[in-house]
Amino acid sequence: MEKSRTFHRKKIVTVFFACTLLFAGLSLRVGWLMVFRSEHYMELADELHQRERRIKAKRGRIIDRTGQVLADNRTVCTISVVYSQITDPETVIRTLSEKLSLPEETVRKRVEKVSSIEKIRSNVPKELGDSIRACGLDGVKVDEDYKRYYPYGELASKVLGFTGGDNQGILALESRYEEVLAGTGGLILETTDARGVRLSREGESRQEPVDGEDLYISLDINIQQYATQLAEQVKKAKEAESVSVLVMRPDNGEILAMADVPEYSLNDPFTLTEEAASAAMTEKEKQEALNRMWRNACINDTYEPGSAFKIITAAAALEEGAVTEKDTFQCPGFITVEGRRIRCARVNGHGTETFVQGTMNSCNPVFVTVGLRLGAERFYRYFERFGLLGKTGIDVSGEASTIMHKAEDMGPVELATVSFGQSFQITPIQLAATVSSLINGGRRVTPHFAVKTGKGEALTDVGWQEGERILSEETSRRLRDILFEVVENGGGKNGKVEGYRVGGKTATSETLPRGTGRYISSFLGFAPAEDPKVLALCIIRNPQGVYYGGQVAAPVVRQLFENILPYLEETG
């Protein structure tokens, strides 16, 4: 008996101490969780009891050099539903279906979906969003949002780019300066119980969004409008495939206008234009057509520059001393290089002519001779020096690279054809930037749009640095004088503007494959010739009828200059 009592006493003591140790352990664990892990579990509780809805930041505006807003924002609404908070699903389904013009089945699937929050539609006009909010439907959330809006519609579409459904930048400046324009989104937080029903006494808390910064660009809306108008006129008159007009300041690389027609609607960028669309298209074909419609030929595409490239050949030869203005040449209408006959545009030839006259006449034999004097090695060195083998660095995405012969493959025939602008390809922006650098005193410029960023008065200069010297000031002056003669008395006379000294060069090149009768006509002009303040390049692709650059492209630049030169004198 005594032995049994002793055994039970030991059991009781053992159980007591075991319970005491267990209780002590649990107390220590609870203390650890409450003191040292409290923040962690508070965060988990917040996540369980909080519902969050994102607020888009207002995207920064894009503003031209005159202060006109080219890309702005409109207030819209996003309509969502919270499943656990809906008390009358049939009324919600019927109301949203009617007001948003959506099929009832579509709305029903989203309303009955068990999720923390389900978006019904975004980019809803504010007035409609306000009317839905006024219905006071439990579980229906109406949040204000922003949608990109372009006041000028199609104008400068291939420069500005557009935004996607989440307001993110797509293409061109909208994409390139996404970090500047986008801003930082905010949140709306509300507290719910374990079932997800909102606790009305807790209200809502907000983390306010930070709006994006404005982007100030060099583009001038007045010059852009007129350049686009001229491009559309000549496209229609010559039944051309497309027309590009590029206007920039040769002294610092600022681009004042860049029109590439046909353009597209920035406010409806995913709808094909009549020109781009066809009756039956697969999704893949439609996407390819959209990509073509969005392409900016000034930047994304290359072409054979033709005789406009003679400006580069002349600059290299004058700098190197391979030719002088008074050197004389014979043009019988062709020149033979390693058994290949290269014709001049004038079949009967120009006879005896100086280098200046050869440039005025755009004589191929003269420039072939000059190119051969330079030699492939020296000529190629100038390609590198002038920046022709790389990209310009323009602040718009998708810039194409020059397609040029390798140095080791540059034989006499290749050298001859390159000398007058054939057998290789460059982008229009590369040609414009290179010529700007050669006529501005000899310093390489980076073509660009962005000038300043910021909000209100707190603006920051983007700060484009002056490029390296690529040509002597003396050679630059001599080149300007020669190009003035081309417009004043030579093949570019249709680019002459009364009251102004204009320099420039015409070009006509046949597209590949040869013999198809498809040409590219162009004219590059600048003014005033003695101290260039503006440069313009007009390119007309596959014009019908007369296709010579001096006859169809030069008049476009003349009309452009007649209007913008007085304007630039007034505005600076």
Catalytic machinery residues: 307
Helix axes 310-320, 364-374, angle to 10 degrees: 40
* CA-closest candidate to residue 264, choices 230, 285, 300, 295: 295
CA distance 507 to 310: 9
> Smallest Cα–Cα separation from 361: which of 350, 347, 372, 371?
350
Residue type, 222: N
Q: What is the DSSP code string of 402-453? A: PB---GGG--HHHHHHHHTT-SSBB-HHHHHHHHHHHHTTSB----B-EEEE
Nearest by Cα to 197 from 86, 78, 92, 115: 86
Close Cβ partners of 454 (under 8 Å, ≥ 6 residues apart): 213, 214, 460
Whose CA is closest to 455, among 173, 59, 186, 169? Answer: 59
Coil/strand/helix, residue 384: helix
Q: What angle do CA 416, 419, 420 make, to 5 degrees?
A: 105
Would you give the DSSP letter of residue 58? P
Helix, strand, coil share (%) of the chain residues, nearest 5: 40, 25, 35
Q: Are 146 and 170 in contact (CB under 8 A)?
A: no
Peptide bond into 262 cis (omega under 30): yes
- DSSP characters over 114-131: -SS-EEEEEEEEHHHHHH
Is the CB of residue 396 less than 8 Å from the CB of residue 159? yes
**Which CA distances in Å does 146 have to 125, 172, 329, 352, 416?**
10, 20, 66, 68, 57
Rounded-to-integer distance, Cα 246 and Cα 338, Å: 38
